[in-house]
């Protein structure tokens, strides 16, 4: 694996030399890139000696006129250790005043950031806001350790152990193919249930969680059939998109595409009620009150639970309270293998870039996943789903 090791200007820069050595020992090619401030703590010659490559410190040192582009395009992972508060602010806001931040903007692969700084700087709202921005981009954050800091204070801010950072780099750069040969059927987004030719009722689902699941499955080698209600985000590359509008349409398309699927994930927020008889003409506004009678929409997840066979069936439960209890209840009543429960409201759930969920499993286990980007949550869901399928197969002697 080809790795860019970015080193920014903090006292922990000397630990980046140990990280470079570890990465080289693991068989990776390492290209060190240092900021001017980093050079005040460690000499570029140190990294050149460890990596066997000239350490880059400014964009005019490379052979190509567009060196920052070529270095970015030739590499698999960008890791920055230490990542100072100043550097993370630049990355969060897209500033490119030096070679390292310019490479960052040109780099399209996985990014690993290992922050290190004074505890007050770490806790400052500006730093935490920048960190959240970087997390939402899907970057891997290796949290700093707590302890005695160079400034004499105690608390979070120490650069994580080089072995911990190296392990995060390995995870970020690993090409996962554990879903090769698998067909995954995913539903996403809201449904829109017409009230008349121009009005409808719906919900706040953005489709982002379902689309993140589709992107994760494709990246891991699966064929993905994505049945989506109306959303404003583009479908991930490589998926087979089936657009629908209503709950009835979604139900029909799910069962039309069910046969090849080995994993079914119902992430859509399907409306619970609809007008069974929609007026042909727009309902005019009058001074009189209007009463509408709604009928239940098809319970797609329950119907799948009755017909799933050997498929792994995963449902979602968006709740405002009693998350674990409701997830367990839905697991049983819908005959699912996993329910992904998430509390909605505030800055999580519908429309958010992040999620924080609890996985209720057929084995009786409940796994809590802390707040992370929806793309990271998607990969964790697949990790646990594959473990679960193996456990269920072993329990049934298959």
pLDDT single digits (tens) 141-165: 999 988 766 667 777 888 999 999 9
Contact 3, 30 (CB under 8 A): yes
Give the pair of three-digit tokens for residue 221: 């080698």
Residue 200: C-alpha distances to residues 190, 197, 273, 279 (Å) = 12, 8, 12, 12
Asked whether this chain's domains 2-173 and 183-395 adopt the same fold, the reply is yes
DSSP annotation of 272 reads S
What is residue 62's predicted lDDT score, i.e. its pLDDT? 56
pLDDT, tens digit, 9 for 90 and up, residues 257-281: 999 999 999 999 999 999 988 999 9
What is residue 65's predicted lDDT score, i.e. its pLDDT? 43
**Residue 388, SS3 per DSSP:** helix
Nearest of 287, 288, 289, 311 to residue 301 by alpha carbon: 311
Strand order in the sheet with 111-115: 29-34, 2-7, 77-83, 111-115, 140-141
Dihedral angle computed from the Cα positions of residues 223, 242, 185 and 265, in that order, rounded to the nearest 10 degrees: 140
Residues 8 and 156: their CA atoms lie apart, in Å, by 18
Residues 360 and 341: their CA atoms lie apart, in Å, by 8
Strands 338-343 and 354-361: antiparallel
Q: Where are the domains of the chain?
A: 2-173, 183-395
E strand residue ranges, 193-262: 193-194, 200-201, 223-228, 240-243
Give the pair of three-digit tokens for residue 169: 């780099």
- Per DSSP, what are the bridge partners of residue 184? 224, 263
**Residue 32, SS3 per DSSP:** strand
Catalytic residue among 151, 153, 174, 283: 151
Catalytic residue list contains 151: yes
What fold, for 183-395? Rossmann fold (3.40.50)
Residues 192 and 243: their CA atoms lie apart, in Å, by 12
What fold, for 2-173? Rossmann fold (3.40.50)
Contact 112, 78 (CB under 8 A): yes
> Mean pLDDT of successive 10-residue segments in the chain (398 residues)?
95 95 96 95 96 86 57 91 96 92 91 94 94 86 82 80 93 85 97 95 92 93 97 92 97 98 97 92 86 93 95 91 87 96 71 84 91 86 93 77
């Amino acid at each position: 694996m080809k790795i860019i090791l970015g080193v920014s200007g903090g006292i922990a820069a000397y630990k980046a030399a140990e990280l470079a050595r570890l990465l080289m020992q693991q068989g990776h090619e390492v290209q060190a890139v240092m900021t001017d401030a980093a050079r005040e703590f460690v000499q570029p010659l140190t990294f050149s000696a460890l990596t066997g490559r000239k350490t880059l410190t400014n964009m005019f040192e490379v052979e190509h006129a567009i060196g920052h582009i070529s270095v970015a395009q030739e590499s698999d992972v960008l890791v920055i250790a230490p990542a100072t508060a100043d550097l993370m602010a630049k990355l969060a806001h897209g500033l490119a005043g030096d070679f390292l931040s310019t490479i960052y903007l040109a780099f399209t692969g996985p990014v690993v950031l290992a922050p290190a700084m004074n505890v007050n700087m770490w806790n400052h709202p500006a730093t935490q806001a920048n960190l959240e921005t970087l997390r939402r981009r899907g970057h891997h954050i290796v949290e700093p350790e707590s302890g005695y800091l160079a400034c004499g204070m105690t608390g979070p801010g120490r650069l994580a152990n080089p072995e911990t950072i190296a392990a995060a780099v390995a995870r970020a750069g690993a090409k996962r193919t554990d879903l090769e040969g698998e067909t995954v059927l995913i539903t996403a987004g809201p449904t829109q249930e017409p009230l008349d030719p121009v009005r409808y009722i719906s919900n706040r689902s953005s489709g982002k969680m379902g689309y993140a699941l589709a992107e994760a499955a494709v990246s891991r080698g699966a064929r993905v059939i994505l049945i989506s209600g109306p959303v404003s985000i583009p479908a991930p590359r490589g998926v087979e998109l089936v657009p629908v509008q209503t709950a009835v349409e979604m139900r029909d398309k799910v069962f039309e595409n069910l046969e090849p699927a080995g994993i079914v994930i119902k992430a859509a927020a399907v409306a619970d009620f609809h007008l069974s008889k929609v007026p042909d003409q727009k309902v005019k506004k009058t001074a009189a009150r209007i009463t509408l009678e709604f009928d239940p929409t098809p319970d797609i997840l329950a119907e799948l639970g009755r017909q799933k066979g050997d498929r792994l069936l995963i449902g979602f439960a968006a709740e405002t309270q009693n998350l674990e209890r409701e997830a367990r209840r839905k697991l049983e009543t819908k005959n699912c293998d996993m329910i992904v429960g998430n509390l909605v409201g505030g800055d999580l759930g519908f429309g958010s870039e992040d999620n924080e969920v609890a996985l209720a499993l057929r084995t009786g286990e409940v796994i809590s996943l802390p707040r992370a980007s929806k793309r990271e949550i998607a990969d964790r869901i697949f990790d646990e789903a594959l473990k679960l399928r193996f456990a269920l197969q072993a329990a049934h002697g298959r």
